């Protein structure tokens, strides 16, 4: 009997040692560097169980053995803490590191940069093209209500939510710059400032010119002169729904739409695009200048003039530049 008892004890000891060795081996494997050699992105679906997650990670090459990952998570982590989302796994991450990242919820951050001067139709198109976003946008917001800048989001976020953030950002930006406006502006409200800013935005993309262009338009408003802005004429034809796709004609300039600032006095009835913060700031703090005219200069910027005679000379230079370009294209 004593001999049998000793054998039983020996068997138990062997089993314990084997179990301990297996536990120790599993822990080492769970914590050793993994197979990832360059960044790997994996999307963990909502409602996915541990087994499915382990299989997806193994298939993507993030973990070397899905069984070891499952056992390791159950023994050394918390399977219930793993969260759905899009994760980026980097060089040498161990299974323990992978589990900790999935439990942290630190998902991949996406960026959507909205250029200044787009119409709302164009911005909605950008949102539609962002494949990481979900949902549809029912109604396109009015032009001038969305602030162009870079927006950060996570996979699965709603397009409608991003659009709402853009609207809130414009509301806040407009209120902020209006509070900092210069005195004696010919602008009665933040809404008029927004209209002017949209025109400035469409007239120039040169940072150093925005305040100067705004100064020209403010001077013309003060003197009761028509703004004579080509982008407003274009908007009167397209209403921001699509590019015009051609040059303006004399007939276009004579067409009395509500936005044709060759035919109406003062500002048009609404914004013609979504201006950025710099254009908003320029509209409410224009440069103090005597300029009343400007025209493209052929170098990406504009030539400014105080008198019509000087402006006509600048226009002649611009037309000569265009003829030169056309000649080069045909040679």
Give 282-313 pLDDT, tens digit per residue.
Answer: 999 999 999 999 988 877 789 999 999 999 99
> Is residue 13 in some structural domain?
no
Q: Which residue range(s) make up the domain with 246?
A: 185-330
Pair 197, 253 in one domain: yes
The predicted structure's pLDDT at residue 23: 60
How many structural domains comprise the chain?
Answer: 3
Pair 115, 223 in one domain: no
At 98, which CATH number? 3.30.1490.480
Pair 82, 218 in one domain: no
**Residue 117 phi, psi dihedral angles, 5° rounding:** 90, 0
> Is residue 19 in some structural domain?
no
Pair 200, 162 in one domain: no
> Is residue 121 in some structural domain?
yes
- pLDDT per position as a tens digit, 73-131: 998 888 889 999 999 999 999 999 999 999 999 999 999 999 999 999 999 999 999 99
Low-confidence ranges of the chain (pLDDT < 50): 1-20
């Amino acid at each position: 009997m004593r001999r049998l008892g000793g054998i039983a004890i020996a068997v138990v000891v062997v089993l314990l040692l084997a179990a301990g060795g297996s536990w120790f081996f599993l822990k080492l494997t769970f914590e050793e560097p993994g197979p990832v050699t360059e960044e790997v992105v994996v999307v963990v679906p909502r409602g996915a169980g541990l087994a499915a997650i382990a299989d997806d990670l193994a298939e993507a090459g993030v973990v070397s053995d899905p069984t070891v990952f499952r056992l390791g998570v159950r023994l050394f982590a918390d399977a219930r803490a793993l969260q759905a989302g899009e994760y980026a796994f980097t060089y040498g991450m161990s299974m323990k590191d992978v589990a900790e990242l999935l439990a942290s919820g630190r998902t991949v951050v996406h960026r959507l940069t909205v250029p200044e001067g787009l119409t709302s139709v164009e911005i909605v198109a950008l949102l539609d093209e962002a494949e990481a976003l979900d949902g549809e946008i029912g109604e396109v917001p009015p032009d001038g209500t969305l602030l162009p800048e870079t927006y950060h989001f996570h996979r699965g976020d709603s397009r409608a939510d991003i659009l709402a953030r853009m609207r809130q950002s414009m509301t806040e930006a407009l209120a902020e710059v209006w509070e900092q406006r210069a005195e004696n502006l010919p602008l009665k409200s933040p809404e008029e400032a927004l209209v002017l800013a949209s025109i400035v935005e469409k007239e120039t993309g040169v940072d150093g010119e925005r305040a100067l262009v705004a100064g020209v338009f403010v001077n013309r408003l003060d003197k009761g002169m028509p703004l004579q802005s080509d982008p407003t004429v274009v908007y009167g034809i397209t209403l921001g729904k699509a590019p015009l796709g051609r040059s303006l004609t004399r007939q276009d300039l004579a067409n009395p739409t509500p936005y044709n600032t060759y035919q109406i006095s003062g500002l048009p009835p609404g914004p013609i695009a979504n201006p950025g913060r710099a254009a908003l700031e320029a509209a409410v703090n224009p440069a103090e200048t005597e300029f009343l005219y400007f025209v493209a200069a052929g170098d990406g910027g504009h030539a400014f003039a105080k008198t019509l005679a000087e402006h006509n000379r600048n226009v002649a230079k611009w037309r000569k530049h265009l003829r030169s370009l056309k000649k080069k294209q045909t040679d």
